[in-house]
Amino acid sequence: MLTPTVRLLAAIVAILMLIGGLVTASVVGIGGFWSTVVGAAILIALVVERNRYRSEATDRSFETVGPGGGEPAGTLEPRFRPTAESFVDPTTNRKMRVYVDNRTGERRYLAED
C-alpha cells in the first residue's frame, strides 16, 4: 500500500528515469535502454497497483486507508452484509471481516476491533 506522497515521488523518479533514458539513448545509442525500461515499468506498476482489501471506488477517491488495509470504518453501503468469513491480515495482524453484496457478489473488507 503506497501513500499518495510515496506514489507521487515514485512517479517523479520514474518520469525522470524515462526521460533520462530516452535522452541518453538518442545521444549514445543503446546506453539509456535500461533506465527507460525501468522508468516505464515503475509508471505501469503505479497505474495498476491497488491497495489490498479496498474497493476500486475507494482507491480512486484517495480516501484514507482503513485499519488493516481495508475500507475506512463506517463507509460501507447498506447493501453489504457481513459473512462468516474472516481472516487475519499477515502484515498488520488485524482480523478482517468479509462483507458481500448478495445481488452482485462484490466483496468488501473491514477490520474488526
DSSP states along 58-113: HHHHTPPPPGGGSPPTT---TT-EEEEEEEE-TTT--EEEEEE-TTT--EEEEE--
Residue 67 CB partners (closer than 8 Å, separation 6+): 73, 92, 94, 111
Mean pLDDT of all residues in 9-36: 89
pLDDT at 20: 92
Q: What is the pLDDT of residues 69-111, one digit of tens each?
A: 666 667 678 888 999 998 888 877 888 888 898 898 888 888 8
Grade residue 31 by pLDDT with cuts at 50, 70 and 90.
Answer: confident
Q: What is the pLDDT of residues 47-58, one digit of tens each?
A: 776 556 666 666
**Single-letter residue type at 30:** I
pLDDT at 66: 65
Choose between 111 and 10: higher pLDDT: 10
Cα–Cα distances in Å, from 87 out to 9, 20, 44, 101? 33, 45, 30, 19
Reported pTM: 0.51
The label of the residue with cell 528515469 reads 17
The label of the residue with cell 480512486 reads 60
